[in-house]
């Protein structure tokens, strides 16, 4: 695959993930957040499972240590997707996209505390930009933050924990699809259990939201992830992250075009700051990483 084709695939991934926020926002008619997530990740699991089985036949067996750390990974991922889906009840698609995207800035900070990996100095100004952007996005007032906005910040922190944990496990085991399937299984079982006992879930509710569940589960969780995995074999990680950070922009665009959402000039300024912070982090990783490689 050529580099250009790989980059175009990653851009398509960003578009799909941005559109998935629309599915998450509109896919809970008579269906609770846990029911939506459980149904969604069941479909994602069905897409990924055949590839995970094929990987298992040629990869090394997972040890008890791998499985125990995998459970921690699954728990962090589950918290992230649950609070994100609950937050969609009380925030806009635009806010959800940009606030969730803060994980790109938080991940290096989390990696410092978890693994002692000191982040580059560029992280400090990026963090300031990101939180200033979140401040402006919600009217330059903490009182303007809705419950859903706070939950999106929790989601961003959860994903910032999940990214280095997944990276650690994948580098050690060479089994990325195994852990993806494990996360999807975890979310499916727990999501449907909570939905069955506490939310109530029916075939009618699932049928009423089937297009959104299908898009979030098969297109976003299954196909887009596979495209990402394929394309990143031909594009450096930092370059890929810059392209995929466009997810936030596409979420906002779809929110405006499909849901009639509106932002004030201050809100758009906040979006620009958050996106700038994410791009600063990824561009810094790209530039300084290449400088270190060339030495």
| pLDDT score recorded for residue 82 | 95
Kindly state the average pLDDT of the residues 246-255. Answer: 82
Minimal CA–CA distance to 122: which of 261, 288, 292? Answer: 288
The mean of the pLDDT values for the chain is 84
Note the pLDDT tens digit of each residue in 224-233: 877 877 776 6
Residue count (the chain): 295
| pLDDT score recorded for residue 241 | 66
| pLDDT score recorded for residue 182 | 93
Note the pLDDT tens digit of each residue in 238-250: 566 667 777 877 8
Minimal CA–CA distance to 279: which of 241, 249, 235, 228? Answer: 241
Minimal CA–CA distance to 16: which of 224, 217, 159, 210? Answer: 224
All residues at 6 or more sequence positions from 74 whose CB lies less than 8 Å from its CB, including other chains: 182, 183, 185, 186, 187
Cα angle 4-9-10, degrees, rounded to a multiple of 5: 100
Q: Which region holds residue 237: left if phi is over 0, alpha if psi is between -120 and 50, else beta?
A: alpha
| pLDDT score recorded for residue 229 | 73
292: pLDDT strictly greater than 50: no
Note the pLDDT tens digit of each residue in 182-191: 999 999 999 9
Q: Give whole-number Cα distances, 199 to 33, 38, 194, 202, in Å.
A: 9, 12, 7, 10
Higher pLDDT pick, 189 / 8: 189
Q: Give the global pTM.
A: 0.84
How far, in Å, CA of 76 to CA of 161, rounded? 7
| pLDDT score recorded for residue 72 | 95
Where does 174-264 have alpha helices with state H?
Answer: 176-194, 203-208, 210-214, 225-231, 237-244, 247-259
Q: Are 44 and 219 within 8 A, CB to CB?
A: no
Higher pLDDT pick, 232 / 69: 69
Q: Are 85 and 33 within 8 A, CB to CB?
A: yes
Here the tokens at position 222 are 């299954």
């Amino acid at each position: 695959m050529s580099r250009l084709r790989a980059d175009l695939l990653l851009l398509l991934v960003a578009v799909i993930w941005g559109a998935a926020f629309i599915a998450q926002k509109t896919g809970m008619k008579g269906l609770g957040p846990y029911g939506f997530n459980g149904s969604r990740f069941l479909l994602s699991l069905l897409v990924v499972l055949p590839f995970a089985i094929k990987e298992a036949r040629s990869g090394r067996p997972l040890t008890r240590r791998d499985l125990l750390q995998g459970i921690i990974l699954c728990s962090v991922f589950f918290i992230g997707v649950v609070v994100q889906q609950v937050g969609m009840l009380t925030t806009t698609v635009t806010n959800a996209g940009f606030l969730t995207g803060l994980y790109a800035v938080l991940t290096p900070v989390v990696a410092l505390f978890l693994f002692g990996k000191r982040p580059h100095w560029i992280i400090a100004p990026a963090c300031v930009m990101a939180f200033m952007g979140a401040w402006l996005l919600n009217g330059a007032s903490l009182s303007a933050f809705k419950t859903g906005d706070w939950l999106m910040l929790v989601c961003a922190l959860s994903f910032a924990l999940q990214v280095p944990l997944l990276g650690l496990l994948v580098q050690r085991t060479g089994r990325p699809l195994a852990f993806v399937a494990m996360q999807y299984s975890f979310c499916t079982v727990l999501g449907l259990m909570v939905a069955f006992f506490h939310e109530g879930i029916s075939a009618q509710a699932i049928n009423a939201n089937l297009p959104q569940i299908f898009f979030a589960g098969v297109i976003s969780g299954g196909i887009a992830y596979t495209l990402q995995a394929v394309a990143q074999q031909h594009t450096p990680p930092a370059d890929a992250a810059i392209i995929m950070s466009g997810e936030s922009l596409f979420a906002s665009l779809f929110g405006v075009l499909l849901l009639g959402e509106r932002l004030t000039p201050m809100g758009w300024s906040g979006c620009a700051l958050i996106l700038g912070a994410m791009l600063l982090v990824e561009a810094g990783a790209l530039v300084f990483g290449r400088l270190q490689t060339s030495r």
